[in-house]
Chains A and B, each alone.
Chain A
């Protein structure tokens, strides 16, 4: 790889770590959330530079979307004047720093000291297509397991979060028309 790619890679790495730190330093909910988004986008582009185009771009896509939603939850749950009040809510700060530092030493030491094996094999020419074939062929079990997990997550998330179900809207026999809604219009409306 060329020098330029190396430089871009390390700048992105610095950006990823710096913005991850900013998440817990800044005192604005929006800035914290979007600092995390920047961190994820930086890592996404790093993965892209490591020749994993699909994984990199999909990381950028997913995380931007997730952080846009995350910001809404932040504002919703923090329960304070969003723009003006500084946000610092931590407990056992020193212990957390100690644990994090110890973890970094252990992991970082491992990264530097472990005798990593040499590279085995070469990347396929059409990597994304190969990944698709792996997912739909040899590793289809991953997809098969993942599908029900995802469905269960969707159902579980909706069940947990939804305030009013169809019985609340349309009565015990589901025959109330129009349904009782805070704002008129929508499914079940005649």
Chain B
């Protein structure tokens, strides 16, 4: 398989639109699962996200006393930006927006930016519950980030490159997930983590009145929620070149396989997130550092040995 080619920056709106479609789909799927768990049929689940968007767009903005608006808005909108910047280095089949030679590090930098954005969204409101939520997220992030970093290391070791396209191209017919299952699982946990989804929802939990989201309303709330789902989608899309063979697949063209794999992984992550209990940050820290981190390091060791041996 040939390496990817960088397309013109004019395709960025299309990538953003594609991200939007996936976010909408993920929201619809999530809504359908919610409806199913309440014994209702899936009818109307495709339009329900639009209803939510329309409701939030018409809602009046609540402003708290002496809120730090600049930081608050930056934090709320930042998640969406970070997701888009992740997508920028993720190849769609044979095309990519940016063929950065350190694409994996770039992705990592963007998911670290989420630390800052969520904390800022919590801080800016100048209100107790969002601030507690912001701190909870940092505690969670300390737990999932280090294992995530070492999970991200495994595919580049195997491919001898930090370029995402090269990693996708190096897989051939044995997908990385086959011999890096631990790294894949740890990576997926990290994706759930930086999109505050499922078990990582403690910063938004109801015991602190919605946490980071408590004072957010209208457009700001829409941006934060869309940003979370966009991060989930971007994380899933990035897993395709990293672990799922990129665009490899029979019959269909490479771009279609990339989209199909992304869709399946997004659905799996949305579903799995809903099945998780909400994790207490301090407990996740211990699980992350005492279980996931050594497991990811062992996985890296195995991959490194194989990479050296095969070469």
User: Contact string, A57-68, partner B, CB cutoff 8 A, digits 1/0?
Assistant: 110110011011
Interfacial chain B residues near A127, Cβ < 8 Å: 101
Q: Is the CB of A60 within 8 A of B135?
A: no
Interfacial chain B residues near A69, Cβ < 8 Å: 138
Within 8 A of A (CB), among B115-134: 115-116, 119-120, 123-124, 126
Q: Is the CB of B286 within 8 A of A128?
A: no
Return the chain B residue nearest A71 by Cβ: B119
Nearest Cβ in chain B — how far from A44, in angstroms? 8
Interfacial chain A residues near B280, Cβ < 8 Å: 185
User: Contact string, A162-190, partner B, CB cutoff 8 A, digits 1/0?
Assistant: 00000000000000000000010111000
User: Contact string, A77-110, partner B, CB cutoff 8 A, digits 1/0?
Assistant: 0000001100000000000000000000000000
Complex CA–CA separation, A147 to B124 (angstroms)? 39
Q: Is the CB of B71 within 8 A of A31?
A: yes
Binds A, one of B102-110, B236-244, B260-268: B102-110
Within 8 A of B (CB), among A32-48: 34, 37
Nearest Cβ in chain A — how far from B138, in angstroms? 6
Nearest Cβ in chain A — how far from B259, in angstroms? 27
Nearest Cβ in chain A — how far from B290, in angstroms? 7
Return the chain A residue nearest B149 by Cβ: A61
A30 at the interface (CB under 8 A from B): yes
B278 at the interface (CB under 8 A from A): no
- Give chain B's interface residue range (CB within 8 Å of chain A): 20 to 34
A57 with B135: in contact, given A30-B123, A34-B120 (CB under 8 Å)?
no
Interfacial chain A residues near B196, Cβ < 8 Å: none
Q: Is the CB of A65 within 8 A of B105?
A: no
Q: Is the CB of B138 within 8 A of A57?
A: no
A57 with B66: in contact, given A68-B119, A187-B286 (CB under 8 Å)?
no
Which of A65, A67, A185, A187 counts the most chain B CB atoms within 10 A? A65
A129 at the interface (CB under 8 A from B): yes
Nearest Cβ in chain A — how far from B34, in angstroms? 30
A84 with B105: in contact, given A34-B71, A183-B282 (CB under 8 Å)?
no
Question: DSSP majority for the B interface?
Answer: helix
Q: Is the CB of B116 within 8 A of A128?
A: no
Question: DSSP majority for the A interface?
Answer: helix
Partner of B106 from the list A31, A34, A57, A71 (CB cut-off 8 Å) is: A57
User: Contact string, A99-136, partner B, CB cutoff 8 A, digits 1/0?
Assistant: 00000000000000000000000000011110000000
Partner of A64 from the list B109, B123, B162, B282 (CB cut-off 8 Å) is: B109
Q: Is the CB of B116 within 8 A of A53?
A: no
A128 with B115: in contact, given A31-B68, A187-B286 (CB under 8 Å)?
no
User: Contact string, B60-75, partner A, CB cutoff 8 A, digits 1/0?
Assistant: 0000001010110000
Interfacial chain A residues near B115, Cβ < 8 Å: 64-65, 68
Complex CA–CA separation, A2 to B113 (angstroms)? 29
Nearest Cβ in chain A — how far from B166, in angstroms? 10
Q: Is the CB of B105 within 8 A of A72?
A: no
* Chain B residues close to A by CB (< 8 Å): 66, 68, 70-71, 100-102, 105-106, 108-109, 112-113, 115-116, 119-120, 123-124, 126, 135, 138, 141, 145, 161-162, 280, 282-283, 286, 290
19 A-B pairs with C-beta separation under 8 A = A30-B120, A30-B124, A34-B120, A37-B116, A54-B105, A57-B109, A58-B105, A60-B109, A61-B108, A68-B112, A68-B115, A68-B116, A68-B141, A83-B68, A129-B101, A185-B280, A185-B282, A186-B283, A186-B286
| Apart from A31-B68, A64-B112, A68-B138: 5 A-B pairs, beta carbons within 8 A | A34-B116, A37-B116, A185-B280, A185-B282, A186-B283
